[in-house]
Structure 1
Amino acid sequence: MPADVIHLVRHGEVHNPTRVLYGRLPGFRLSDLGQRMAEAAVGALAGHPVTALYASPLQRVQESAAPWAEAFGLEVHTEERLIEPTNRFEGKRMNRRTLADPRHWHLLRNPRTPSWGEPFTSIATRMLAAMTETCERTDSGEVVMVSHQLPIWMVHRAVVGEPLAHDPRKRRCALSSITSFAWQGGAFTEIGYQEPGAELLENATDLGAV
Structure 2
Amino acid sequence: MRLLLVRHGQTPTNVDYLLDTAVPGPGLTELGLAQAAALPEALADEDIEALYVSTLLRTQLTAAPLAAARGLEPLVRDGIREITAGDLEMLPGDSAQGELYMRTAFSWASGDTALRMPGGENGEEVLGRFDGVVAEAAASGARTVVMVSHGAIIRTWTAARADNVDIQYAATHRLANTGVVVLEGSLSDGFKALSWAGASVAPAGGAGPAGEPLDDAG
TM-score, structure 2 length as denominator? 0.71
Q: Counterparts in 2 of 1:39-50, with a 5 A limit?
A: 39-50=37-48
Q: Counterparts in 2 of 1:113-152, with a 5 A limit?
A: 113-116=115-118, 117-138=120-141, 140-152=142-154
Aligned residue number for residue 90 of structure 1: 89
1:21 paired to 2:19: yes
Q: Does the CA contact (< 8 Å) of 2:54 and 2:148 recur in 1? A: yes
Structure 1: distance between partners of 2:197 and 2:32: 13
* 1:46 match: secondary structure: coil
Q: Does the CA contact (< 8 Å) of 1:8 and 1:146 recur in 2? A: yes
Structure 2: distance between partners of 1:41 and 1:83: 20
Structure 1 residues 12 and 167, CA gap change in structure 2 (3 angstroms): same
* 2:84 match: secondary structure: coil
CA displacement at 1:157 relative to structure 2: 0.8
Coordinate RMSD, CA, aligned: 3.2
Q: Does the CA contact (< 8 Å) of 1:19 and 1:207 recur in 2? A: no
Q: Does the CA contact (< 8 Å) of 1:53 and 1:76 recur in 2? A: yes
Q: Which amino acid aligns with 2:130?
A: M
Structure 2: distance between partners of 1:56 and 1:8: 12
Q: Does the CA contact (< 8 Å) of 2:9 and 2:62 recur in 1? A: yes
Structure 2: distance between partners of 1:159 and 1:18: 30
Q: Does the CA contact (< 8 Å) of 1:26 and 1:59 recur in 2? A: yes
- The percentage of counterpart residues that share the same residue type is 27
Aligned residue number for residue 78 of structure 1: 76
* 1:86 match: secondary structure: coil
Q: How many residues align?
A: 188
Give the unaligned 5+ runs of structure 2. Answer: 108-114, 199-213
Task: State the structure with bigger RCO (CA 8 A, min sep 6), 1 or 2.
Answer: 1
Q: Which amino acid aligns with 2:194?
A: G
CA displacement at 1:18 relative to structure 2: 5.5
* 1:134 match: secondary structure: helix
Decide which of 190, 202, 217 is 1:209's aligned counterpart: 217
* 1:22 match: secondary structure: coil
Aligned residue number for residue 33 of structure 2: 35
Structure 1 residues 167 and 45, CA gap change in structure 2 (3 angstroms): closer
Structure 2: distance between partners of 1:168 and 1:92: 22
Q: Which amino acid aligns with 2:18?
A: V
Instruction: Show CA shifts across 1:17-57 (max 9, x none).
Output: 65532111544111111112223333222032111111001
* 1:62 match: secondary structure: helix
1:10 paired to 2:7: yes
Larger-gyration structure (1/2): 1
Select between 62-71 and 120-129 the one with higher mean Cα deviation.
Answer: 120-129
Q: Does the CA contact (< 8 Å) of 1:20 and 1:207 recur in 2? A: no
* 1:50 match: secondary structure: coil
Aligned residue number for residue 209 of structure 2: none
Structure 1 residues 164 and 181, CA gap change in structure 2 (3 angstroms): closer
Q: Which amino acid aligns with 1:209?
A: A
Decide which of 166, 178, 181 is 1:179's aligned counterpart: 181
Q: Does the CA contact (< 8 Å) of 2:183 and 2:195 recur in 1? A: no
Structure 2: distance between partners of 1:208 and 1:185: 25
